[in-house]
Structure 1
Amino acid sequence: MPLDVTQPHPAGAADARRRAVAIWLLVICGMILVMIGLGGATRLTGSGLSIMEWAPLRGTLPPLTEAEWQRLFALYRQIPQYTLLNPDLDLDGFRRIFWLEYVHRLWGRLIGLAFLLPLLWLWWRGAIDKRLRPRLLVLFMLGGLQGGVGWFMVASGFFPDSIAVSQYWLVVHLTLALVLYGAILWTALSLLRPASLPGGPPALRRAVFACCVLVTVTIVAGGFVAGLKAGLTYNTFPLMDGRIVPDGYGDLRPAWRNLTENIAAVQFNHRLLATATAVTVLGTLAWGLTRARGLAKAGLWALGIAVAVQYGLGVATLLAVVPPLLGTAHQIVAALVLSAALLALHGLRPTAALAHDPLHEDGFRQEGRA
Structure 2
Amino acid sequence: MAERRSIFEDVSETQKPAATPGGISRDRTRARRLVRGWLKILFALVVVMVAVGGLTRLTDSGLSITEWAPLSGAIPPLSEADWQAEFEAYRAIPEYQLQNRGMSMAEFQVIYWWEWGHRQLGRFIGLVWAVGFLGLLVTRNIPRGWSLRLLMLGALGGAQGAIGWWMVASGLEEGMLDVASYRLATHLGLAFLILSLIAWYVMRLGRAESELLAARREGDRKLKGVSTGVMHLAFLQIIVGALVAGIDAGRNYTDWPLMAGGFTPPGMWAIEPVWRNLFENDGTVQFIHRMLGYLVLLMGLVAWVMALRSARKATRGAFHDMMAMLVVQVAIGIMTVMASAPWYMAILHQVGAVLLMVLILRARFLSMYPLKQSIRG
TM-score, normalised via structure 2 length:
0.87
Indicate the larger mover: 185-194 or 42-51: 185-194
Q: Deviations over 1:70-127 (max 9, x none)?
A: 1111111111111111112100001111111111111111110111101100110000
Larger radius of gyration: 2
Q: How far apart are the structure 2 equivalents of 1:347 and 1:292?
A: 12
| Structure 1 residues 212 and 292, CA gap change in structure 2 (3 angstroms) | farther
Q: How far apart are the structure 2 equivalents of 1:320 and 1:53?
A: 35
| Structure 1 residues 27 and 320, CA gap change in structure 2 (3 angstroms) | same
Q: Does 1:275 align with 2:294?
A: yes
Q: Does 1:120 align with 2:134?
A: yes
Name the structure 2 match of 1:356.
none
Equivalent positions of 1:22-37 (< 5 A) are: 22-37=36-51
Q: How far apart are the structure 2 equivalents of 1:336 and 1:350?
A: 21
Letter aligned with residue 103 of structure 2: L
Q: How far apart are the structure 2 equivalents of 1:249 and 1:141?
A: 39
Equivalent of residue 208 in structure 1, options 217, 223, 227: 227
Equivalent of residue 103 in structure 1, options 117, 120, 125: 117
Name the structure 1 match of 2:169.
155
**Please, which runs of 5 or more residues in structure 2 have no aligned partner?**
1-21, 371-377
Equivalent of residue 18 in structure 1, options 10, 21, 32: 32
Name the structure, 1 or 2, with higher relative contact order (CA <8 Å, separation 6+): 1
Name the structure 1 match of 2:56.
42
Q: How far apart are the structure 2 equivalents of 1:332 and 1:313?
A: 11
Alignment size in residue pairs:
344
| Structure 1 residues 292 and 308, CA gap change in structure 2 (3 angstroms) | farther
Q: Does 1:240 align with 2:259?
A: yes
Name the structure 2 match of 1:326.
345
**Please, which runs of 5 or more residues in structure 1 have no aligned partner?**
1-7, 352-370
Q: How far apart are the structure 1 equivalents of 2:130 and 2:277?
A: 41
Partner of 1:10, secondary structure, is helix
Name the structure 1 match of 2:365.
346
State the identity %.
37
Q: How far apart are the structure 2 equivalents of 1:130 and 1:208?
A: 29
Superposed displacement of residue 294, structure 1: 5.2
Superposed displacement of residue 301, structure 1: 2.4
Q: Deviations over 1:267-322 (max 9, x none)?
A: 10000001111222134223313416255334312211221221111111111111
Q: Is the 8 A contact 1:174 1:223 kept in 2?
A: yes
Equivalent positions of 1:1-370 (< 5 A) are: 10-193=24-207, 194=209, 195-196=211-212, 197=215, 201-291=220-310, 293=312, 295-349=314-368
Indicate the larger mover: 283-292 or 90-99: 283-292
| Structure 1 residues 257 and 16, CA gap change in structure 2 (3 angstroms) | same
| Structure 1 residues 349 and 287, CA gap change in structure 2 (3 angstroms) | closer
Moved over 6 A (4+): none
Q: How far apart are the structure 2 equivalents of 1:305 and 1:51?
A: 41
Aligned-residue CA RMSD (Å) = 1.8
Q: Deviations over 1:128-179 (max 9, x none)?
A: 0242111111211110010000011011100111110001111111111121
Superposed displacement of residue 254, structure 1: 4.2
Q: How far apart are the structure 1 equivalents of 2:77 and 2:321?
A: 43
Letter aligned with residue 329 of structure 2: Q
Q: Deviations over 1:169-219 (max 9, x none)?
A: 111111111211111211121111342336763221111111111111111
Partner of 1:273, secondary structure, is helix
| Structure 1 residues 130 and 283, CA gap change in structure 2 (3 angstroms) | closer
Partner of 2:367, secondary structure, is coil
Letter aligned with residue 226 of structure 1: A
Q: How far apart are the structure 1 equivalents of 2:317 and 2:138?
A: 36
Indicate the larger mover: 9-18 or 334-343: 9-18
Q: How far apart are the structure 1 equivalents of 2:129 and 2:40?
A: 11
| Structure 1 residues 292 and 91, CA gap change in structure 2 (3 angstroms) | farther
Q: How far apart are the structure 2 equivalents of 1:231 and 1:98?
A: 25
Q: How far apart are the structure 1 equivalents of 2:151 and 2:356?
A: 27
Q: Is the 8 A contact 1:295 1:343 kept in 2?
A: no
Q: How far apart are the structure 1 equivalents of 2:361 and 2:277?
A: 31
